[in-house]
Amino acid sequence: MILVFLRKFSDIEEESCLSRNQSVLYRKSSPHKPSSYLVSKLRSYEELHKRCGPRTNSYKRSLKQLKSGQIDHDSGDCKYVVWVADCGLGNRILSITSAFLYALLTDRVLLINQEKEMVDLFCEPFPTSSWILPEDFPFKNKMSGFYQKVGHSYGNLLKSNTINYSTPMLPSYLYLYLSHDCDHDDQLFFCDQDQALLSKVPWLIMRSNVNFLPSMFLMSSFDQELDKLFPDKETVFHHLGRYLFHPSDRVWGLITKYYQDYLAKAEKRIGIQIRIFSAKTSPFGSVMDQILGCIQKEKLLPEVDTEKSIASPSKNQTSKVILVTSLFRGYFEKLNKMYGEHPTKTGEVVAVYQPSNERKQQSWENSHNVQAWVEIYLLSLSDELVTSAWSTFGYVAQGLRGMRPLILYKIDRTIPDPPCGRGVSMEPCYHAPPIFDCKTKKTVDTTTFVPHVKHCEDIRWGIKLFNTST
């Protein structure tokens, strides 16, 4: 099992995290094995986190530098990247994973600014030491203010010309704004020259809501290390996501109960994830027709005989289960009526379920994020997966599953033809990548830099990782 490769159970302290051990009972083994170098790198990181994590002597010494504003380059103490939340749960999981890869590549310790809406969603990922930023962190009560890009913002420092590249005078911390609307100066984070400067700063406070991970594969300074870590470029989020994100016992109880009650007895499970960004451009009828068109085109589910009606519930074994996840209930009701009122032409019994329908996204509510995490995880247990274009919710599910999904292409008033298509990579898309060459300072198509970074199937200006060997 992949989890055994990435985690040494004997090293974990006594803790309550049922999902870490029990997930193998629900999830199929991954055919994608991590490189031995990745396993070794994660072991080394766990030792670093143990030495430098919250409450350690190294952490306390580093805090003194942060408070004083004076960098002691000879101290040999630890360096950190502090992740600050933005947007929905899917965005958060992807941006945390990106921040963690950056920490791996730069020998930094990742700490999470856990706000109330994120409490008790995940188990602690690292043995013996927490990744949660302590409450007494000096800027803890100001984290939300960092959204305004004030103070020691790297972009603002560049704009004010306070950095001398030959003899840089840098503060003890810098704020990195890497969300979807970051500007050109903020995106210089992805230039090798600027990384050399950032490596001298002990504390990096990073606000992000995107999967910026692919852009690190465009940086020459990380080339060799990334090639050793991930010889299969399509498995980066798959390996790191499964390593980092284990449902807490509270969430795991909800997942396993729903699975046992509704999904366990089916021979095949089909997950359909529906995300509507605009009801005007994607009206219900069009989306429903698109879903049915995709199901029929790909032969995911049997056709129903509309000339006949089901007189009484079938006593046959449920052949297939459809798990619908959506903020709205209408799609479930349509599918449930179709398979509940008419027999299939093959004689198969199809059941349809939807765990919730909250009508609107409430990313700042803990209960909403709990339900979102439950449904992402349930989708990742599917045998076949249909996802919505542009949706980070779907990206996380497909990555954890280790599957190239069928993607429902974005509707812009008319149904696309074809209505869906198989993804050519299971990696998530980076929706807002830099579009300039750090060396020439010119606007370019960054997918021309390396063969394993290409444009996304569902958003033409986005980029994602591909496996060039297939």
The residue range of the domain holding 145 is 2-244
Average pLDDT over the chain, rounded to whole?
A: 89
Co-location of 229 and 281 in the same domain: no
Looking at 85-89, 214-218, 219-223, which range is the least confident one?
A: 85-89
Please check the confidence at residue 152 and state whether its pLDDT lies above 90.
no
Residue that finishes a domain, picked among 195, 225, 244: 244
Number of domains in the chain: 2
Co-location of 271 and 225 in the same domain: no
pTM here is 0.93
Co-location of 277 and 209 in the same domain: no
In a domain, 369, yes or no: yes
> Mean pLDDT, to the nearest integer, of 192-205?
91
Co-location of 208 and 304 in the same domain: no
Please check the confidence at residue 207 and state whether its pLDDT lies above 80.
yes
- With a pLDDT cut of 90, the percent of the chain lying above it is 74
Q: What is the CATH number of the domain that holds 357?
A: 3.40.50.11350
Co-location of 260 and 112 in the same domain: no
pLDDT (tens digit per residue) in 371-400: 999 999 999 999 999 999 999 999 999 999
In a domain, 470, yes or no: no
In a domain, 116, yes or no: yes
Contacts 24+ apart (CB under 8 A), 412-419: 412/281, 413/281, 413/286, 414/286, 415/286, 415/289, 415/290, 415/293, 416/290, 418/293, 418/294, 418/297, 419/289, 419/290, 419/291, 419/293, 419/294, 419/297
Co-location of 451 and 338 in the same domain: yes
Co-location of 35 and 161 in the same domain: yes
pLDDT given for residue 14 in this prediction:
42
Q: What b/e sequence results for 424-458 when a residue is b if at least 16 CB atoms lie within 10 Å of its CB, and e otherwise?
A: bbbbbbbbbbbebbbeeeeeeebbeebebbbbbbb
Co-location of 272 and 350 in the same domain: yes
Residue that finishes a domain, picked among 194, 214, 244: 244
Co-location of 458 and 387 in the same domain: yes
Co-location of 240 and 253 in the same domain: no
Residue that finishes a domain, picked among 222, 244, 266: 244
Please check the confidence at residue 232 and state whether its pLDDT lies above 60.
yes
